[in-house]
RNA sequence: GCGGAAUUGGUGAAGUGGUUAACACGCCGGAUUGUGGCUCCGGUAUGCAUGGGUUCGAUCCCCAUAUUUCGCCCCA
């Protein structure tokens, strides 16, 4: 038997219903928040992700799916969504008009990592990018939009963790201070942190191993090394969050795994037990230098990405998902009735009524059972005798009332119910 | 990449080194030969992830592989 590749999964039955619901909410919400849909390629030039996500990040160094096509082009399956959106923004010269540009995407991403609960090699992210605004209202919108969306989907205990990484200069100043502080304690840190000390000292802050050590408890705060402008900006973000009634918690150890972030960064965490270690359902932040870095005009941006699989997982705990009931189920036994069944089904469907009938040659009894399984609201029980008189037998599956309706009026009769 | 656990039908699962692998749900058929959902009766794994090994004999013991899962790393 050929099985699915490791780290991939099929979406069927109940999962499919959950996915449909999530996707509907996403499209609906994005419309009301005035975001335009964007779809970019699933593979891009390898170079793109090195320049955006960062050469030293794990995502790029250990987790990408890289391949050469038949003309030896170096390509990579996208590990995240922002890079492609920014590339498209520049390539299509979207900066020329209609700024800021508010975009949303919803598609599969690929990372070669160890699969687990809420983690897959092919996974889906929905995300939003606002390009061309440095206003704090933008930061707040990008945080509140997914927060409200998740609430609407049924999430109860959501928590926003937020931090301010400041400008590039702020971060350089802080890194310096951090290294200064850690230098005498270097031997007490875990192996990974020793490596991080040189490449990416900020990441030591959210190290799980050393988290509870006194060294990290007394570490200088990133918030103390920022310019007045940056500090005031962050204050304003928090103030606006209050206006929008978003619960948040400043977490000064929150840094993100992608290199392009600056100023506001955040995560939305769910406390649903089923998520276990995958409790972060969305995360994002500001990236004011990225567009310029990729060759576009200096454009401040803010965005987030959300893991659809994690939403689907958590939805199991929250509610029953049921298939929408069928409007009509048509039953028949002989050939004459069958022909009427297939034509009537077509007419009903074209009139906006969902309809179905048996195609496996089941007994009438089984057809009744099937109708109940589908929660059909109306049963159309065809029989030759009535058909010859131009009548069709319609039974209300709730009241059990049966009516004979003229063949020519059947569509109107059902539609007007 | 490192360490632990798991893997029995469509599903939830019981089980034992030795004839036909419980039970339940579901599904199919019948009682009711064209009006069901209740009830009753019957059917439903040549098979216990895959490949080796130990054994007279393995689903059960051992090894390997795969997949899933938990923790680390990382991250959505």
Lowest-pLDDT range, A106-120, A137-151, A189-203? Answer: A189-203
Same domain, A110 and A256: yes
pLDDT above 70 covers what percent of chain A?
97
Tell me, what CATH number does A332's domain have? 3.40.50.800
ipTM entry: 0.85
Number of domains in chain A: 2
Same domain, A369 and A276: no
Asked whether residue A198 is assigned to any structural domain, the reply reads no
Predicted confidence at residue A181, as pLDDT, reads 87
Same domain, A153 and A57: yes
Predicted confidence at residue A109, as pLDDT, reads 96
The whole-number Å distance from A326's CA to B42's C1' is: 32
Predicted confidence at residue A131, as pLDDT, reads 97
What does the alpha-carbon distance between residue A147 and residue A159 come to, in Å, rounded to a whole number? Answer: 9
What does the alpha-carbon distance between residue A293 and residue A44 come to, in Å, rounded to a whole number? Answer: 17
Residue A334, CA: closest nucleotide via C1'? B34
Same domain, A267 and A355: no
Asked whether residue A380 is assigned to any structural domain, the reply reads yes
Asked whether residue A272 is assigned to any structural domain, the reply reads yes
Strand locations in A255-339 (E): 262-270, 280-286, 301-307, 328-331
What tokens appear for A397 in the block?
A: 């599956």
pTM of this structure: 0.90
Predicted confidence at residue A197, as pLDDT, reads 79
Q: In terms of DSSP H, where are the helices of A183-331?
A: 191-199, 214-217, 228-243, 290-293, 308-318
Residue A364 domain boundaries: 328-415
Same domain, A36 and A86: yes
Closest alpha carbon to A382 in A334, A318, A312: A334
Residue A337, CA: closest nucleotide via C1'? B34
The whole-number Å distance from A121's CA to B66's C1' is: 17
Same domain, A273 and A354: no
The whole-number Å distance from A320's CA to B34's C1' is: 36
- Given A318, A338, A362, which residue is the final one in a domain? A318
Nucleotides of B under 7 A from a protein CB: 1-2, 27-30, 32, 34-37, 66-76
CB A151 within 8 A of CB A158: yes
pLDDT of residue A380 exceeding 90, the answer is yes
pLDDT of residue A9 exceeding 80, the answer is yes
CB A124 within 8 A of CB A307: yes
- A56-79 mean pLDDT: 90
Asked whether residue A218 is assigned to any structural domain, the reply reads no
Residue A255, CA: closest nucleotide via C1'? B75
- A120-138 mean pLDDT: 96
Same domain, A108 and A26: yes
Same domain, A111 and A242: yes
Same domain, A339 and A258: no
Predicted confidence at residue A253, as pLDDT, reads 86
Lowest-pLDDT range, A1-15, A309-323, A325-339? Answer: A309-323
pLDDT of residue A326 exceeding 80, the answer is yes
How many CB atoms lie under 10 A from the CB of residue A202?
16
CB A303 within 8 A of CB A128: yes
Predicted confidence at residue A228, as pLDDT, reads 94
Asked whether residue A389 is assigned to any structural domain, the reply reads yes
Lowest-pLDDT range, A76-90, A343-357, A360-374? Answer: A360-374
Residue A58, CA: closest nucleotide via C1'? B74
Same domain, A132 and A258: yes
Asked whether residue A323 is assigned to any structural domain, the reply reads no
What does the alpha-carbon distance between residue A101 and residue A296 come to, in Å, rounded to a whole number? Answer: 14
- Given A293, A318, A343, which residue is the final one in a domain? A318
Tell me, what CATH number does A277's domain have? 3.30.930.10
pLDDT of residue A146 exceeding 70, the answer is yes
CA–CA–CA angle A55, A58, A62 (5° rounding): 95
Residue A128 is classified by DSSP as E
- Given A270, A290, A318, which residue is the final one in a domain? A318
What does the alpha-carbon distance between residue A394 and residue A353 come to, in Å, rounded to a whole number? Answer: 14
The whole-number Å distance from A363's CA to B29's C1' is: 10
Convert A253-262 to b/e letters by CB count within 10 Å (16 or more is b). bbbbebbbbb
- A211-230 mean pLDDT: 82
């Amino acid at each position: 038997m050929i099985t699915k590749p490791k780290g991939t999964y099929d979406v069927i039955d109940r999962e499919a219903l959950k996915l449909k619901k999530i996707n509907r909410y996403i499209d609906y919400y994005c419309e009301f928040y005035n975001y335009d849909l964007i779809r970019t390629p699933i593979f891009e030039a390898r170079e793109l992700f090195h320049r955006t996500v960062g050469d030293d990040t794990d995502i790029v160094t250990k987790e990408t799916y890289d391949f050469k096509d038949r003309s030896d082009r170096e390509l990579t399956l996208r590990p995240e969504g922002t890079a492609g959106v920014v590339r498209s923004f520049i390539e299509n010269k979207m900066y020329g008009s209609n700024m800021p540009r508010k975009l949303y995407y919803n598609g599969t991403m690929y990372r070669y990592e160890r699969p687990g609960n809420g983690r897959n090699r092919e996974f889906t992210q929905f995300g939003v990018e606002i390009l061309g605004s440095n206003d704090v209202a933008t930061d707040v919108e990008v945080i509140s939009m997914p927060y409200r969306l998740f609430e609407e989907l049924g999430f109860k205990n959501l928590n926003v963790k937020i931090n301010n990484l400041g400008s590039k200069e702020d971060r350089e100043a802080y890194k310096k201070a951090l290294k200064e502080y850690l230098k005498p304690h270097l031997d007490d840190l875990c192996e990974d942190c020793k490596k991080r000390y040189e490449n990416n000292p900020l990441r030591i802050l959210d190290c799980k191993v050393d988290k509870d050590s006194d060294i990290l408890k007394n570490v200088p705060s990133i918030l103390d090394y920022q310019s007045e402008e940056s500090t005031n900006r962050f204050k304003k973000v928090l103030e606006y969050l209050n206006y929008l009634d978003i619960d948040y918690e400043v977490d000064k150890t929150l840094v993100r795994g992608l290199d392009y972030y600056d100023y506001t960064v955040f995560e939305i965490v769910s406390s649903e037990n089923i998520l276990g270690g995958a409790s972060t359902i969305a995360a994002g932040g500001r990236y004011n230098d990225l567009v310029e870095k990729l060759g576009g005009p200096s454009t401040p941006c803010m965005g987030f990405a959300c893991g659809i699989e994690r939403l689907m997982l958590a939805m199991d705990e929250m509610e029953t998902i049921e298939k929408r009931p069928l409007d009509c189920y048509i039953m028949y036994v002989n050939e004459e009735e069958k022909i009427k069944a297939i034509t009537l089904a077509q007419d009903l469907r074209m009139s906006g009524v969902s309809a179905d009938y048996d195609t496996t040659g089941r007994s009438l009894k089984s057809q009744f059972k099937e109708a109940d399984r589908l929660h059909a609201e109306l049963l159309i029980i065809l029989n030759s005798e009535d058909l010859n008189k131009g009548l069709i037998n319609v039974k209300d599956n709730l009241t059990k009332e049966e009516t004979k309706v003229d063949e020519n009026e059947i569509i109107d009769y059902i539609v007007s119910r």
